[in-house]
């Protein structure tokens, strides 16, 4: 609850509303991007573990699980498969992380504008 | 409270004559390509309330916005579900595509594939695949499975994947749009409320002792 002194008389103009909407959109985007980074990182870990296992097992042939069935593949092929996938995921994580910092930057700009106009009458956090 | 009710009732009877649907039409501003209404932005709450005959009360306006808001929430839920659905379908398509591509590659390299395939949950059978036939069966859904050549299967799966991605993009846009409408209506409700508080405060000062209320 705000004291009357803290109350802000500033009317919400159309451009303010647009900025608020933009901020909310960015917030939703931020959550999505973060969730995706998390799940990719977990996946990456799994593949990393798999690579280590392949190296240690030295079995010659391994079974690769793809689309619901196991396929007999040579150790070499399985390693390449893992490496390719790791690379693909890392690229995706990197681009998502760039996106994340861009979102945060844009949000900071909007925060300055909106807090400047509405002071304590507006709350722009998570 | 009774005051709000009578205001509502008059608005409803009035509405039948000149404002067909006060609750939605007068606070929306057209709709987007997919039929989702656009919430009207109020430039000046006081003037907006005055634009109704009789002037709309804060309760009436907030009531209308609440209804619209819950409508948007329904859109949001169904779109979120759609998005989640596609999100799980796209990786499935990706693996299917990768699988057919690897079959094709093995055939071209004249290799054979030995596989353990799922017979039932946790039971796997062993099979050697005859790649020379160059055919793969795709599950199309609705209890239909069709035999394709590798090339055709790749084309079919890539096309489906592209379509799904396109749809995913559309759903994402729609969702962002709906969220804009939700935020706008939330802000509008707050503004109407604040406008009402301020109006009552002014009335109290001006009215002084006139009204005992």
Q: Within the 48-87 window of chain A, which residues sit less than 8 Å (CB to CB) from chain B?
A: 63, 66-72
Interface test with A, best of B72, B102, B188 (most A CBs within 10 A): B102
**Domain assignment present for B94:** yes
SS3 category, B128: strand
B191 vs A: CB within 8 A? yes
- The answer, yes or no, to whether residue B94 has pLDDT greater than 70, is yes
> Does residue B180 lie within any of the structural domains?
yes
Residue B28 has pLDDT above 80, yes or no: no
pLDDT at B3 over 70: no
Q: What's chain A look like in SS3?
A: CCCCCCCCCCCCCHHHHHHHHHHHHHHHHHHHHHHHHHHHHHHHHHHHHHHHHHHHHCCCEEEEEECCEEEEEEHHHHHHHHHHHHHHHHHHHHHHHHHHHHHHHHHHHHHHHHHHHHHHHCCCCC
Residue B212 resides in a domain: no
How much of chain B is helix, strand and coil, in % rounded to 5? Answer: 65, 15, 20
pLDDT: is B82 or B30 the higher one?
B82
The total of other beta-carbon atoms located within 10 Å of residue B27's CB is 22
Task: Retrieve residue B90's tokens.
Answer: 């796209």
pLDDT at A57: 78
- Give A61 to chain B, closest Cα distance, Å: 11
* Contact criterion met (CB < 8 Å) for B114 and A20: no
Task: State the DSSP H helix or E strand holding residue B93, giving kind and residue range, or none if neither.
Answer: helix B58-108
B101 inside domain: yes
Q: How close does chain A come to B9, measured CA to CA in Å?
A: 30
Cβ–Cβ contacts within 10 Å for residue A57, how many?
10
Q: Which of B149, B147, B160 is nearest to B107 (CA)?
A: B149
Structure tokens at A27: 């917030």
How far does the CA of residue A39 sit from the closest CA of chain B (Å)?
A: 13
Residue B213 lies in a domain: no
CATH number at residue B190: 1.10.287.370
pLDDT value at residue B124:
87
> Is the residue at B197 inside a domain?
yes
Question: Which chain B residues are Cβ-neighbours of A28 within 8 angstroms?
Answer: 175-176, 179
Highest-confidence segment of A48-57, B28-37, B159-168: B159-168
Report how many Cβ contacts below 8 Å link chain A to chain B.
Answer: 51
Residue ranges and CATH numbers for the domains of chain A are 14-121 (1.10.287.370)
CB B96 within 8 A of CB A67: yes
Q: What is the mean pLDDT of residues A3-22?
A: 77
Flag whether B154 is in a domain: yes
Taking the C-alpha atoms of residue B88 and residue B97, their distance in angstroms, rounded to an integer, is 15
Closest Cβ–Cβ partner in A12, A17, A69 for B116 = A69
Verify whether the Cβ–Cβ distance B98 to A66 is below 8 Å. Answer: yes
B197 touches chain A (CB under 8 A): no
Cβ count within 10 A of residue B182:
21
The number of folded domains in chain B is 1
Residue A64 structure tokens: 């690769």
- The reply to whether B82 touches chain A by the CB within 8 Å rule is no
CB-side exposure of B136: number of CA atoms within 13 Å? 22
pLDDT, tens digit, 9 for 90 and up, residues A41-82:
999 999 999 888 888 877 778 888 877 788 888 888 888 888
Identify which of A45, A25, A24 has the alpha carbon closest to the alpha carbon of residue A89: A45
B176/A70 CB distance under 8 A: no
Report the pLDDT value the prediction gives residue B210, as an integer from 0 to 100. 53
Mean pLDDT on B58-83: 90
Which residue range is the domain that position B37 belongs to? 2-207
The predicted pLDDT at position B19 comes to: 42
Identify whether the C-beta of residue B186 lies closer than 8 Å to the C-beta of residue B115: no
């Amino acid at each position: 609850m705000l004291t009357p002194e803290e109350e802000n008389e500033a009317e919400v103009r159309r451009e303010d509303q647009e900025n608020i909407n933009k901020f909310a959109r960015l917030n939703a985007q931020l959550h999505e991007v973060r969730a995706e980074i998390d799940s990719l990182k977990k996946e990456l870990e799994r593949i990393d573990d798999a690579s280590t296992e392949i190296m240690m097992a030295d079995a010659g042939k391994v079974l690769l699980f793809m689309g619901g069935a196991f396929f007999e593949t040579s150790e070499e092929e399985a390693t390449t498969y893992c490496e390719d996938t790791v690379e693909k995921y890392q690229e995706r994580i990197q681009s998502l992380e760039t996106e994340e910092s861009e979102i945060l930057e844009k949000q900071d700009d909007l925060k300055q504008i909106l807090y400047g106009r509405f002071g304590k009458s507006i709350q722009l956090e998570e | 409270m009774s005051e709000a009710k009578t205001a509502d009732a008059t608005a409803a009877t009035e509405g039948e004559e000149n404002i067909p649907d006060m609750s939605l039409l007068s606070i929306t501003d057209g709709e987007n390509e997919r039929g989702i209404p656009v919430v009207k932005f109020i430039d000046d709450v006081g003037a907006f309330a005055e634009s109704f005959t009789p002037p709309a009360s804060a309760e009436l306006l907030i009531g209308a916005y609440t209804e619209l808001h819950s409508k948007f929430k329904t859109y949001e839920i169904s779109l979120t579900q759609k998005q989640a659905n596609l999100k799980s379908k796209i990786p499935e398509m990706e693996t299917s595509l990768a699988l057919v591509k690897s079959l094709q590659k093995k055939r071209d390299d004249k290799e054979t594939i030995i596989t353990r395939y799922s017979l039932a949950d946790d039971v796997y059978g062993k099979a050697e695949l005859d790649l020379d036939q160059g055919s793969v069966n795709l599950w199309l859904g609705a209890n239909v499975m069709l035999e394709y050549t590798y090339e055709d299967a790749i084309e079919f799966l890539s096309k489906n994947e592209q379509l799904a991605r396109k749809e995913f993009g559309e759903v994402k846009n729609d969702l962002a749009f709906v969220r804009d409408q939700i935020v706008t209506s939330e802000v509008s409700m707050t503004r109407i409320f604040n406008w009402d508080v301020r109006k009552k405060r002014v009335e109290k000062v001006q009215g002084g002792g006139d009204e005992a209320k």
